[in-house]
A = this chain, B = another copy of it.
Amino acid sequence: MTDFAATRRAFHLPKGVTYLDGNSLGPMPVAARDRVARMMGDEWSEMLITGWNKAGWYVQPRKVGDRIARLIGAGAGEVVMGDTLSIKVFQALSAALALRPGRRVILSDSGNFPSDLYVAEGLARAVGAELRVVAPEEVEAAIADDLAVLMLTEVDYRTGRRHDMAALTAKAHGAGALALWDLAHSAGAVDVDLTGADADFAVGCTYKYLNGGPGAPAFIWTHPRHADAAQPILQGWMGHDAPFAFDLGYRPAAGVERMRVGTPPVIALTALDAALDVWDGVSLSDLRARSIELSEAFIAGVEAQCPDVALNSPRDPGRRGSQVSFRHPQGYAVMQALIAAGVIGDFRAPDVLRFGFAPLYNDLGDVDRAVETLARILRDETWNDEKFHQKAAVT
């Protein structure tokens, strides 16, 4: 059994705070700060340029990728780190399109994170493809024989709705298309199984449930059947077969390493590597069971004590990720009042209160505090206070 009391102790959680926003930014694993300080003091400072070899900076994107592979049902050597999620979406989508010559349709849904749609829009404009966006529940029916790529985020960033990755991938394959999955709200949250689902490409970020820190690097996975054929539009020297030959012409590296672009972000990868230590010994089935236990307890508590809010997530935990959202007409102010009371979730327009349950550090005590605080705020209409209606630049 995974020891979740031990994994909770691995994080710095501020006193008096119940943190239910790890689906936006995970808290700091206590080891991360010292690890980064050591990297800066012992490696950068002392090794200087020789750190690329001596400290292993050069191979870090692949080594950290291997650690993530286990959490998403991928094999060693199949995942590489770098850049940001949007950039990895661009690479995977352009590579997938190129693998389906003669087809130009990209299908996505309105539950996808907007940045993925912006990336697809920019790419489609450039290469003459067409982006079709349907409602999440219409995706299955919209998979047609003209489809090149099905591009979905597995878990909806607002509702927590989880797509059936295996079924939709199979349907896409049946139509002759490829499937690209964004795991932003899945990796470290649910029991992802890319190999079992037979997906083609996957991408994700590491600052949510993987706790790599604000703006931590992204990952990209290519199924081995495509890894040596994939040719993304965005290609750079670190993805070259021989970067240090400094050839004038590009020749892609074998496998997923061709998805590397520029010089890797060593400091950020070091923080992430420390954050991944917490995952050693965590079983994905235990993770999934704990996630369901926490979210089910939260829904039951809120529905028993907070009559003014409406569940905005699927009721069936099998169809949810690790987050739960509720709607309230004064959602923004309610969330500000909650944050002021030490319960941190977040708000998504127009009226969504969003709560993430990170199995590594959230527990039933967090659930109880969140339910009680929300109930009190709604009962006392604390949110009516003018100060809770002022909008900040970033919410």
Which partner residue on chain B sits nearest A32 by CB separation? B40
Which residues of the partner chain B approach A267 to less than 8 Å between Cβ atoms?
A: 36, 213-216, 267-268, 271
Within 8 A of B (CB), among A214-256: 214-218, 232-238, 240, 244-250
Question: Once the chains are docked, how many angstroms separate the CA of A36 from the CA of B45?
Answer: 14
Question: Once the chains are docked, how many angstroms separate the CA of A94 from the CA of B238?
Answer: 21
Does A33 reach chain B (CB closer than 8 Å)? yes
A323–chain B nearest beta-carbon distance, Å = 14
Question: Once the chains are docked, how many angstroms separate the CA of A86 from the CA of B122?
Answer: 18
Does A322 reach chain B (CB closer than 8 Å)? no
Q: Are A51 and B214 in contact (CB under 8 A)?
A: yes
**Identical copies in the complex:** 2
Given A114-B247, A232-B122, A234-B234, answer yes or no on A265-B49 (Cβ-Cβ < 8 Å): no
Does A87 reach chain B (CB closer than 8 Å)? yes
Question: Once the chains are docked, how many angstroms separate the CA of A313 from the CA of B258?
Answer: 33
Which residues of the partner chain B approach A248 to less than 8 Å between Cβ atoms?
A: 110, 114, 117, 133
Q: Are A40 and B36 in contact (CB under 8 A)?
A: yes
Which residues of the partner chain B approach A392 to less than 8 Å between Cβ atoms?
A: 53
A350–chain B nearest beta-carbon distance, Å = 10
Q: Are A45 and B14 in contact (CB under 8 A)?
A: yes
Q: Are A48 and B36 in contact (CB under 8 A)?
A: no
Which partner residue on chain B sits nearest A121 by CB separation? B250
Partner of A19, one of B48, B213, B249: B48
Partner of A237, one of B27, B115, B261: B115
Which partner residue on chain B sits nearest A27 by CB separation? B48
A211–chain B nearest beta-carbon distance, Å = 10
Which residues of the partner chain B approach A207 to less than 8 Å between Cβ atoms?
A: 263
Q: Are B52 and A237 in contact (CB under 8 A)?
A: no
Partner of A126, one of B19, B94, B205, B236: B94
Of A162-170, A341-349, A368-376, the one touching chain B: A341-349
Which residues of the partner chain B approach A83 to less than 8 Å between Cβ atoms?
A: 83-84, 87, 262
Residues of A within 8 A of B (CB): 12, 14, 17, 19, 21, 24-25, 27-28, 32-33, 36-37, 40-41, 44-46, 48-53, 57-59, 82-87, 90, 94, 110, 113-115, 117-119, 121-123, 125-127, 133, 205, 207, 213-218, 232-238, 240, 244-250, 261-269, 271, 339, 344, 346, 348-349, 392-395
30 CB-based A-B contacts, threshold 8 Å: A12-B45, A14-B48, A25-B49, A25-B52, A28-B45, A33-B37, A36-B40, A40-B213, A40-B271, A83-B84, A83-B87, A84-B265, A85-B263, A87-B234, A90-B234, A113-B237, A114-B240, A114-B246, A115-B236, A115-B262, A117-B249, A118-B235, A118-B240, A119-B235, A122-B250, A205-B262, A213-B266, A214-B264, A216-B267, A233-B233
4 closest Cβ pairs, A-B complex: A84-B262, A86-B236, A115-B237, A214-B266
